Structure 1
Amino acid sequence: MKQRWKLRKLKKEVCQVRKCQERMKELSDEELSHLTVEFRERLAGGESLDDLLPEAFAAICEADWRILGMAPYDAQILGGIALHKGYLAEMNTGEGKTLVATMPLYLNALTGKSVILVTVNDYLARRDAEEMGPVYRFMGLSVSAGGEEDAGNEKAEQNKLQNAEKKEMYAADIVYTTHGALGFDYLLNNLVTRAEDRFLREFYYVIIDEADSVLLDGAQMPLVISSSPRVQSNLYGITDFFVTTMIEDEDYEQEDKAVWLTENGIRYAETFFQIDNFYSEEYFEINRHVTLALRAHAMFEKGDAYMVSKDGKVVLLDGGTGRLMDGMKLRGGQHQALEAKEGVEISQENRSVAAVTFQNLFLMFPKMAGMSGTMIDASEELRNVYGVKVLVIPPNRPRQRVDLPDQYFRNKEEQIQAAVEETLELHATGRPVLIVASNIVDTESVSRKLLEAQVPHNVLNANNASWEAQIIKEAGQPDAVTVATSMAGRGTDIKLGKGVEAVGGLAVIGIGRMDNVRMERQARGRAGRQGDVGSSHFFVSLEDGVVDGGNSKQYEKYIEGKRRISRRKLKKIIDKSQKTGEEMAVMSRKRSVDYDKIMRRQRDLIYATRDHLLDGGDVNQEQILQMAEKNIRRFFGACESIDKKILSRYILDNISYRLENDLPDTTSVGLPEIEEYLLEKVVKRLEDREKNLGVRDMNTFIRVAVLSAIDNAWVEQVDYMHQLQAAVSGRSTAQRNLLFEYQNECFDAFEKMENTVFETAMRSIMLSNVYVDAERKLHIVFP
């Protein structure tokens, strides 16, 4: 009911756009393009974007027709209005979402603020910017494309664009990029040490293409930038050996992608490592490494989650696309634990220096919208996490695709054999067939059987997104047989070749129950584009990955044919497994959001402080003295007694390399007098430095010293929080509130980090070698 009411309201605005189009058709090219200037003047005069919408949409629709030869139809205009209003618009595959985006992007770009469209890969970002760019430029707006094929790489130094180039890219009126590149750019933008090196504009409006893939499927793990190496741990080997001696259900338990030690397992670990409390702070590293090793053996299967290359490297696999994720590493030491498991050389573990989840990244935009072919099934989660509503846009033409009932099988062999037999029957009629498998192994099995039957075909579980998209694009030609993973070529339409409509259109065959209903709907939606005829048919079995992770131990008697099982029971087991998997994925994403909320509070405070300093904000003498006072009191608290030797050491390490003969008699004066003496030393040191440098350079020096102290301490804090997440995941046995424990420990760590910042900043301000050269350049050598 609500959906219909919202659509009726938006359809009235479609009518207004159509009325304005009559006037646009009469304008010359020069008059049409000049409307951008007029619209901006009207915005400056007090009109709102909603006021301008009918005319602005009509103008860009006319530009689309004149430049591209494509005239948006009502469903596309309706989708464009929904995107401007901040909805997540569900539009069927083939409805022309790339063209839809031109309307809200143009309208919101009139504000002069940051307007960005993000999509799932570099190829799509560049393709869409290249295809739609001429329209924006005709209307007087600039457009740019960003994103790199390796945007997901953890290493910041692999980012190919320099800050100056990025600044130019993000300065464009409309930016097309990938969600990964945008996330890493946000983090890198907050790692610069000079104000002029920042390149991002303040976020304003974003459209997320393939929104369910980005906001849900791609949001399980945070983006992490790593840099300086950690001191290499020697615990990976011994903890891996320890885990191989453990017995499931006795020493550890596993359920729904989680694993933890039992009480027996904890006692065994304490005996093995000769420690008295497995969860005490002093044994944090042993706890963490045991947890990582246990996860490596119980939760990461070779050939599914990763593979070992010929040169002995653990390479991650994207389970959805089948792509090798070269250069990507699991964080927090998990990758090194996998290397220990496989007996290959353990790579260097790097520190995490910055991190953000996609959830929190996109919540920074005041206006967020998205579009995809499949979102309504996840509307509740999207509303709860992102505060946005899903609106289903009716297709331009009624759907003719026939979705056949699923077929159920006991095992993988019967399932694939049946799917291949149906493929051969369809292929014999000349119909194009797209076989969509839920994992890489299944695509290879199908390919072998097709080769045995001498059927030419393409297999898509490759690395190059551009090549994938081109092959998917041709999958609708007569006699074409294409085997792909569920995500391959996503964002690319399949147009039917000559004569295909007459023989029944594209046939989609799905192999394996997929992780969620959305992915299955996306696969089915490859057929029946724009009212074309077509069909979809899924073949599922007890050996599908959604059933006990593909292990299906409890169903072995059915799989091996030792006991009979009805189709009804098969359906019940598989459907329940998929539902459970979906619920666990939702919980996992919620957990990721909850953990990042804790980090977000700290990150926002640190980034705000950095921005204040980068923008010239001063640290006044009162603040410096407060830092000094806190440092001195912590020093007093750590000492059982104060004598002249200890006092001299503190002065040399924290205030001045020169000692004066005026030390107070520590045997006759109290701590308040000693504190006052030390603060006077600090004030005298500050006065001397300011006299030598001048007020301006002194302020610059203090800003740089404090910024450096913050950055060094924040790197340690981010790295610790990521190590802590891995460690607390193994504490499930005691029925503890893991999030509460993580929050408390992060809060304590933040307090310690603040103390470290104060100590490091004061040492830098007091002891750095700082001078101004003949060209008035400030030089600082930190102690």
Structure 2
Amino acid sequence: MKDRRIYKILEKVKSLEGTMRSMTDEDLQGMTAKLKAQLKDGKTTDQILPEAYAAMCEADRRILGTMPYDVQILGAIALHKGYLAEMFTGEGKTLMATLPLYLNALTGKSTILVTANEYLASRDADDLRPVFSFMGLTERAGVPREPGEPLTNAQKKENYAADILYTTHSILAFDYLLNNLVDRAEDRFLREFCFVIIDEADSVLLDGAQMPLVISGSPRVQSNLYAMTDFFVTTLKEDRDYEKEDKSVWLTDRGVEYAERFFGISDFYAHENFEINRHVTLALRAHVLFEKQSDYMLSDDGEIVLLDNSTGRSLPGMKLRGGAHQALEEKEHVKLSQEQRSVASITYQNLFLMFPKMCGMSGTISDAKRELFDVYHKLVFVVPPRKKVQRVDRKDRFFASAQEQFEAALEETLTRHRAGQPVLVVTATIQDTQIFSRMLVDHKVPHSVLNANNAYWEAEIIAEAGQMNAVTVSTGMAGRGTDIRLQDGVQELGGLAVIGIGRMENLRLERQARGRAGRQGDPGSSQFFVSLEDEVVTAMTGEKTAPYIDGERHISQGKLRRLINGAQKTMVEQSVSSREQSVRYDKILRRQREILYGARDRLLDRDTIQKDVVRRLIIDDLRIFMDENPKLTHGELTRFALDNLTYELDPEKLPEPGRSRSDRQRLLERLENYADELYDRKTAMFKDEEQLQEYLRQCILNALDDCWIDEVDYLQQLQYAITTRGTAQRNPIFEYSREAYQSFGDMKKTMKKKIVRNFFLGDPQTGKDGRMNIVFP
């Protein structure tokens, strides 16, 4: 999209360049106070943008030694206007971001830049802190300085209080969830969200958006169904008992009938068989959708270690949610780890939609502009390159077999290496980097291999990929965010040559790979070598291509091209569909989350709890108890009173329950009177109204948190189990929505019971610090 208003604003910024250049350092620094005052007097950020950007451009020149180019200012204006800006690799997105960060930080509201990994967040924050400090703003990196050393709440509070924060999308998401789990208002560390820039926006908003981020808490009672359902799944046959499509697998009607016979149940989808259904689904996914050495591996000590095959990263310590990890462990016959309950969950879509002002930047985002508008309501602005792109993008070469593909790629690599030209080989999977590395070793070619295992040293290695004679083999994401600068003399050899091996999951990933070469008008080239054995193709076509790979049937170049490109197109469509489904699932949870988090905040902010509200909860609880027990015995009545009302029961207060309606009505009235008496006795324990209010708040907060954890955990499990219901002529989203609505209603009823029980049976104690500590029943 081309917005003419942005070009007009650029002219205004440029017209102030001379004025800023003539200022002393003190006058330039004084612009911050001047602009803040203008905002305080009623001006908007749009109105002060030209002056703010011109001042920051001059500050960048003086402190960093680099003046933003016109295209960087253009992109910076687009970011402030809320666009997702596509800017070619190497054009200077990091410097460009200083302008909108400075402008929005002047408002005093939270201003955050999130990027792909902790190394980039730390590096960029350190590099740019001097210029922000020069202009009188505080800036922090919200990431641990040492891996494995989490930040304390006090450190987080200091970081988020800074004018500008650099962090990662995953840390921000988990911090949001953790901020809504604190017990005291003073432990909260987040400010209200306002302005965010998302670096590598396509990676975050699209590629990383399918899997919810989940915080796990207390362990769940370990199920004994994993072994039984694992054995059951090993007896199934594809196409007869189950069907597979992309990243989904489900039982056929015949498979469902077999499951009902195997487990001795009448309705596989009945609510009472939820756990069997869930465990069968988990075992089926573990065996059919997860491949060893591709999606996970076994460590030396027999633990499942997850792999991110698109980036090549191993993910030590990370576990699949909802019992999926234990299903994998059962499949591999290793010791089952303790299954954890899900305490809180959110997707990136819903996290970033909470920001009133959200924008992003990437080298490749325009290909997904329709999806980005549909999900995030964001338009894409393509920033023109500063210099004409000199890179030569050669036509893809298509092969039937992987052997032909790799040999051709190797020949191209060797040819360019012998001439001294640097070569960057980008593969679609981790395994392909390993295969190609072995081929280079066989030909005695020195090279570096990047599997995206360590972002710190990856950046150093990828930065050297433009040296003469260098050969670097990398997965697509490794070292992303780091420029590849060419050594003197490399331009004359043709610049960096990018050789891609394998059709990638989408065109954006391939454009990212090509964009490594031809930085800021440098020469360079790119070419992809693809085959019918690429993972994308086999995942989408199954065994249909086997005769062509084996040479049993001839295939023309035209059909080869259509099959391979068609497989990528199908995968893109399925990925979009999967992300849309993820949005729908989390949208349902988001409504519940907003209600619960809003209630938590009101409690932490010490809202007054009216006494009649508590009394009404007590009466509701008593009436629910009576309704649920139409044939109540005296023993059940006594048990209820001891479990919910008082440990010091007066037997005379509980008459023998009758059977008639009038008897039950009299009993209810007696119970209500007894509860009133106990209420007065309880409230008399507190020295003043403030102490009573604190007690009530903690009672409600404890009940709210316990019930919400159960709800989140149940909905996480439900998502896994619900996927098979599409084969039972049911809409999975509708089923999930219906059951989530019902479970939310059940949660509210349980919450009322817990609040009443906490109020009557809670034991308030005062600690040495003077704070109230409550022992809950």
TM-score of the two chains, using structure 1 as the length reference: 0.97
Secondary structure of the residue aligned to 1:731 is: helix
| Deviations 1:455-492, CA, capped at 9 Å, x for gaps | 11000004110111111111011111000000111111
Secondary structure of the residue aligned to 1:554 is: coil
**Paired amino acid for 1:683:** D
1:287 to 277, 298, 312: 277
Secondary structure of the residue aligned to 1:237 is: helix
Contact 2:653-2:674 at 8 Å conserved across structures: no
Contact 2:230-2:280 at 8 Å conserved across structures: yes
Q: Which residue of 2 aligns with 1:154?
A: none
Secondary structure of the residue aligned to 1:745 is: helix
Secondary structure of the residue aligned to 2:526 is: strand
Residues 607-622 of structure 1: matches in 2 within 5 Å?
607-622=597-612
Cα distance in 1, alignment partners of residues 454 and 768 from structure 2: 54
Contact 1:689-1:698 at 8 Å conserved across structures: no
Q: Which residue of 2 aligns with 1:673?
A: 666
Contact 1:136-1:143 at 8 Å conserved across structures: yes
| Deviations 1:723-756, CA, capped at 9 Å, x for gaps | 1000001222123110000011111111111111
Secondary structure of the residue aligned to 2:114 is: strand
| Deviations 1:195-227, CA, capped at 9 Å, x for gaps | 000000000000000000010001110100001
Contact 1:544-1:550 at 8 Å conserved across structures: no
Cα distance in 2, alignment partners of residues 149 and 690 from structure 1: 49
**Paired amino acid for 2:238:** E
**Paired amino acid for 1:612:** R
| Deviations 1:626-677, CA, capped at 9 Å, x for gaps | 2222212221122132343333332222112233324345337433322222
Structure 2 unaligned regions, length at least 5: none
**Paired amino acid for 2:601:** D
Residues 577-656 of structure 1: matches in 2 within 5 Å?
577-656=567-646
Q: Which residue of 2 aligns with 1:495?
A: 485
**Paired amino acid for 1:712:** D
**Paired amino acid for 1:695:** E
1:77 to 65, 73, 76: 73
The alpha-carbon deviation at position 774 of structure 1 amounts to 8.8
Contact 2:452-2:475 at 8 Å conserved across structures: no
- Give the 3 Å change call, closer, same or farther, for CA 70–704 of structure 1 in structure 2: same
Contact 2:452-2:479 at 8 Å conserved across structures: no
Q: Which residue of 1 aligns with 2:747?
A: 753
- Give the 3 Å change call, closer, same or farther, for CA 770–491 of structure 1 in structure 2: same
Residues 83-102 of structure 1: matches in 2 within 5 Å?
83-102=79-98
2:336 to 310, 327, 346: 346
1:11 to 4, 7, 14: 7
**Paired amino acid for 1:697:** Q
The alpha-carbon deviation at position 181 of structure 1 amounts to 0.2
Q: Which residue of 2 aligns with 1:202?
A: 192
Cα distance in 2, alignment partners of residues 691 and 259 from structure 1: 60
Contact 1:288-1:723 at 8 Å conserved across structures: yes
**Paired amino acid for 2:514:** R
Shifted more, 660-669 versus 420-429: the winner is 660-669
Residues 327-476 of structure 1: matches in 2 within 5 Å?
327-476=317-466
1:172 to 162, 172, 187: 162
Verify: 1:129 aligned to 2:125, yes or no: yes
Q: Which residue of 2 aligns with 1:685?
A: 678
Cα distance in 1, alignment partners of residues 634 and 322 from structure 2: 44
**Paired amino acid for 2:702:** S
- Give the 3 Å change call, closer, same or farther, for CA 671–574 of structure 1 in structure 2: same
1:561 to 544, 551, 555: 551
Contact 2:144-2:151 at 8 Å conserved across structures: no
Residues 106-117 of structure 1: matches in 2 within 5 Å?
106-117=102-113
Secondary structure of the residue aligned to 2:16 is: helix
Q: Which residue of 1 aligns with 2:179?
A: 189
Shifted more, 295-304 versus 638-647: the winner is 638-647
Contact 1:91-1:372 at 8 Å conserved across structures: yes
1:481 to 464, 467, 471: 471
Contact 1:142-1:173 at 8 Å conserved across structures: yes
Cα distance in 1, alignment partners of residues 728 and 711 from structure 2: 26
The alpha-carbon deviation at position 287 of structure 1 amounts to 0.6
The alpha-carbon deviation at position 147 of structure 1 amounts to 2.7
The alpha-carbon deviation at position 623 of structure 1 amounts to 1.4
**Paired amino acid for 2:302:** G
The alpha-carbon deviation at position 250 of structure 1 amounts to 0.5
- Give the 3 Å change call, closer, same or farther, for CA 282–42 of structure 1 in structure 2: same
Cα distance in 2, alignment partners of residues 778 and 257 from structure 1: 50
| Deviations 1:228-253, CA, capped at 9 Å, x for gaps | 00101111111111101001111111
Contact 1:431-1:480 at 8 Å conserved across structures: yes
Cα distance in 1, alignment partners of residues 654 and 303 from structure 2: 60
**Paired amino acid for 1:205:** F
- Give the 3 Å change call, closer, same or farther, for CA 607–775 of structure 1 in structure 2: closer
Secondary structure of the residue aligned to 1:141 is: coil
Contact 1:402-1:535 at 8 Å conserved across structures: yes
Cα distance in 2, alignment partners of residues 623 and 455 from structure 1: 77
**Paired amino acid for 2:372:** L
Cα distance in 1, alignment partners of residues 476 and 224 from structure 2: 40
The alpha-carbon deviation at position 683 of structure 1 amounts to 2.0
Cα distance in 1, alignment partners of residues 327 and 280 from structure 2: 9
Contact 1:543-1:550 at 8 Å conserved across structures: no
Contact 2:462-2:482 at 8 Å conserved across structures: yes
Shifted more, 621-630 versus 427-436: the winner is 621-630
**Paired amino acid for 2:741:** F
Secondary structure of the residue aligned to 2:389 is: coil
Contact 1:62-1:71 at 8 Å conserved across structures: yes
Contact 1:253-1:262 at 8 Å conserved across structures: yes
Verify: 1:737 aligned to 2:728, yes or no: no
Verify: 1:227 aligned to 2:217, yes or no: yes
**Paired amino acid for 2:685:** N
Query: How many residues in Structure 1 have an aligned counterpart in Structure 2?
Result: 773
Cα distance in 1, alignment partners of residues 762 and 87 from structure 2: 61
Contact 1:436-1:511 at 8 Å conserved across structures: yes
Residues 317-328 of structure 1: matches in 2 within 5 Å?
317-328=307-318
- Give the 3 Å change call, closer, same or farther, for CA 645–442 of structure 1 in structure 2: closer
Contact 2:241-2:255 at 8 Å conserved across structures: yes
| Deviations 1:338-391, CA, capped at 9 Å, x for gaps | 111111111111000000000000000000000000011100000110111111
- Give the 3 Å change call, closer, same or farther, for CA 537–237 of structure 1 in structure 2: same
**Paired amino acid for 1:386:** Y
Contact 2:110-2:195 at 8 Å conserved across structures: yes
2:33 to 18, 30, 37: 37
| Deviations 1:20-64, CA, capped at 9 Å, x for gaps | 111011111111111101110110001111111111000000000
Q: Which residue of 2 aligns with 1:717?
A: 711
Contact 1:318-1:324 at 8 Å conserved across structures: yes
**Paired amino acid for 1:710:** L
TM-score of the two chains, using structure 2 as the length reference: 0.98
Secondary structure of the residue aligned to 1:537 is: strand
Secondary structure of the residue aligned to 2:528 is: strand
Contact 2:306-2:316 at 8 Å conserved across structures: yes
Taking only the aligned residue pairs, the percentage that are identical comes to 55
Cα distance in 2, alignment partners of residues 626 and 666 from structure 1: 23
Cα distance in 2, alignment partners of residues 724 and 432 from structure 1: 51
Secondary structure of the residue aligned to 1:337 is: helix
**Paired amino acid for 2:166:** Y
Cα distance in 1, alignment partners of residues 480 and 121 from structure 2: 12
